[in-house]
Amino acid sequence: MTETAAPLHLEDLAVGQRFTSPSHTMEAEEIKAFAAAYDPQPFHLDETAADASFFRGLAASGWHTAAVTMRLLVEGGAPLANGIIGAGSEVTWPRATRPGDVLTAVTEIVEIKPSRSRPERGLVTLRTETLNQRGEVVQVMTSRVVVWQRGIRPE
């Protein structure tokens, strides 16, 4: 497993490279606040309602887990020199994120496609597993991001 914090350009990347992010603890208050703003359903907002629901207890919105994962990528989990600029993403949530869960994002480069028409840039596919403190996968995110060669100004 390769670990690095240096900002990487297209020519620094290789399939199989892996990066581990810092961690983030999901507090119940943050779970409820995100849900109130963006996913106001009872099982994300209130412990009692959540106990009686499909989730059997308070669970974070999947979009909250995705947003926290994005922050972990920006904070070092995907050290790309020009930032993390996504064209799209596929996300699955194999298990719920719960209050107190400590999340870490582990990312692997699974594909690098240099642009034919613009060889100074490439489309890189990242597969990110978001793990809780027991090493259980709470989210798998596969993202396609644009990465530039060193010395190229993105445009």
Residue number with CB closer to a copy of itself (14 or 51): 51
Window contacting a copy of itself (CB under 8 A); options: 3-11, 87-95, 111-119, 125-133: 87-95
Q: Give me the least distance between CB of 94 and a copy of itself, in Å please.
A: 9
* Site residue total, a copy of itself (CB under 8 A): 34
Q: How many CB atoms lie within 10 A of CB 142?
A: 15
Footprint of a copy of itself on 64-83 (CB under 8 A) = 66-68, 70-71, 74, 82-83
Using alpha carbons, select from 140, 154, 119, 110 the residue that is nearest to residue 11.
Answer: 119
92: its two tokens = 């699955």
> Who contacts 115 (Cβ-Cβ below 8 Å, separation ≥6)?
121, 122, 123
- Is residue 154 a contact residue for a copy of itself (CB under 8 A)? yes
Q: Which two tokens stand for residue 76?
A: 């070092």
